[in-house]
Structure 1
Amino acid sequence: MPPPTIESEYDVLIVDDDPLQAAFLDQALRLEGYVTRHLVDGSHALDEARRAKPRLVVVDIVMPGIDGLRVCQALVPDVSARGGAVVVASGKPRAVEEPRALKAGAVAYLQKPFSVPEVLAVLQPLLGKPDGGRRLLSSSSVRVQIWGSRSAGESGSAFGTRSCSISVGLRTGELYLLDAGTGLQACAAALMSHPIETATLLLTHYHPGHVEGLFGLPLVRKPKFVLRVAGPADIGVDLRGFLAKAFESGQGPGVAVQAWTLDEGRYELSDNVVLHTLYANHPTTTLAFALTVAGKKIVYCPDSELTKASEVDLSNTFERLRSFALGADLLIHDAHSAPADLPRFRGQGHSSWEEALRLALEAGVRHLSLFHLAASYSDAKASALETAARQKASQERPSLRCDLARDGAMIDL
């Protein structure tokens, strides 16, 4: 079956009331560059499919109040007429349920619990390659993409080995880049073939893992491109001089680089975007960012040492950051070390997932992305830390989404 060519708001609609399996499937697809949406209520699946026109719908058989195979039957005529497809998933016996799913009109069947190899083997031929252009800007109000999420490592990792860089794209075409670690190079590669002509880069501080992606940056050779760069006012760094050195290989024809410094305060970056900045507890002058974008609040604090709940917060750091992050739709916060390893990182300006989760809970955050994990941790260790954080979040507030940041992950708000 050839990949569909329909105009879709996103690639895959996941209809499943199981939050863990749905999150697994969602993450597996997003890491491959696909755009997904998760719907818990199967009774709304047909309306959502007609509205958003996803290229593929994955529906679970067992859901409260409705049979997933009936949902499949209802979806198939509309979805297939647009060149899309429906896939059924279930944890029930495959020998029994797969023939029933195919009879209901599904083109394929996925067995639960999901495995990444089977998910990709079944779904990628149906979807084709992800559209690179849509990875930056989408028809959703705001798209956050993580291009680099931890310290740069020497070996491969499923969680990533690029240093810090994030993009925030708006439906209006505006693009904001947060930090310039090696992840920025991957972002820049996507931008080179994208029609966007302007981007704003916000630097939290000037440590190597947050600026090393500026050197040899191809964006400054993209004709007529405008790069606006802002970073903290630091007595040890001349921002304009630093950028001149980073871009000394030369700017392309008509390329403009505009630079200015930030203090703690409020900045109107455009009619659609307001930036608030707060000094973070990290060596050298370091900022945390709160972007209010199209009614959504995104807080980015990649390097931040928070006190534990059992400690006296003499500097009032936790309370200041709690107020800063209050009600955020997305909090991306430092979770550099495992809780057991935190004592040896004290004074270096980092936290563990426990402090980040406490902040998210007390600030009423909707989604917590644990960021900047130490490169020394294996994937097995990283997975164990993510599982522990998710379990604790589920116990404290089931509605709080919690995950470990991964290179390539996308979050639509």
Structure 2
Amino acid sequence: MTALCAQRTFFRGADGYEAARRGTVWNGILPQRFPDAIVQACDADDVVATIRYARAHGHRVGIRSGGHSWTASHLRDGGVLLDVSRLDHCDVDVDRMTARVGPGKVASDFANELDAQGLFFPSGHCEGIRLGGYLLQGGYGWNSKVLGPACESVLGLEVVTADGETLYCDPQQHADLYWAARGSGPGFFGVVTSFTLRLHRRPPVLGTCLYMYPVEVADEVFGWGRSISGEIDDRVELQILTSRNAPEAGPDVPTIAIASPVFADSEEDAAKALSILGSCPVIDRATVNVPYLPTTLANWYAAVMMKYPAGHRYSVDNMFTSASADELLPGIRTIIETLPPHPSHFVFAGWKPSADRSDMVYGVEDDVYLGLYTAWLDPADDARYGDWARSNMAAMSHLATGISLADENLAHRAGRFIAEPNLARLQQVRAAYDPDGMFHSWQAHD
């Protein structure tokens, strides 16, 4: 019978267990769910040993690579929680333009390390998330309208299956498991111990624009934003962000900011690609009007993380939609009118759905993405703020194509996240590789 490494295994009730459990959750809200054991794997052998132990003892398994899993879907009652955040190896082959990385590699570190070598990967927009969960759920990241979700750049994976076997999956070997791994997120039925990734040349120029508008012209800004969302250059990420001012920044009122990254061959190309964002019909009401300035990936990460401070309690929800501005505006008005204090925020983002992603299970997508991110510090405010994101997305759900697993809230609100034919096929592949259901699936789907 396979044994676990005592130094890195914490059984419920033992010293170190609660610290290990707390350490797997980035959100300040710690769910009251308690695995029987938490294993901190340090290499692939630890993963194999843990899976064989779990099978021998009839345990179900949750997996955590380390990120911002808002609902901590890896944390379940009973069974084993396998923490693979320490599998953070990274080997870059510049000649082949590939990298072999562990699921615990911090995506922002990976992006910055590549940046220093003139290379690029569509890593996520937040600092600190690990590549494992990010890649499995699809991975909407920097320059993804051009490069596709990050899972499109996954060339292969090393996976430990439910029977404790290690397989390498790619389009030629175990292609069905490779298909299933790219987009199923926390519903994947295996443990990835390494990814082989396709790298890209870093675009020569990274830039941005910055426009800020008072909330009084929200209808005009969002109506215009929806009207141009399909016309924007793929190298530009349409990002319209609404949040209340920070206490030190002025009155506690919502402000609308358009700060859109651009990835281009020259500053002239970058400015031209961004120029459409200066066409808002109320541009004369902009309190900040910067059509273009050069920036860096590090600066972008720093700007993004101002909205995601550590130690806060978070509740999020989201939707993809193709609805018109007239259909969306009533819900957007309610979101803005009820917006909780800084750093809570509302993101309206443009996207480019693909005509065909049949080579992966990757979820639903549409022209526009709406994301609600509530953040507060005091547990006494849980009842006041905790349902804001869910209730507003529920009220607009009749306009939704579905949701993204990146910001899922499935424990509290059901949503379509994978096309029905793909979901049916995924369950068939699951039955072949995990017939006993040893690995947990998505919350509310187990």
Bin for the TM-score computed over the shorter chain: under 0.3
Whose RCO is larger (CA < 8 A, sep 6+)? 2
Provide the TM-score with structure 1 as the length reference.
Answer: 0.26
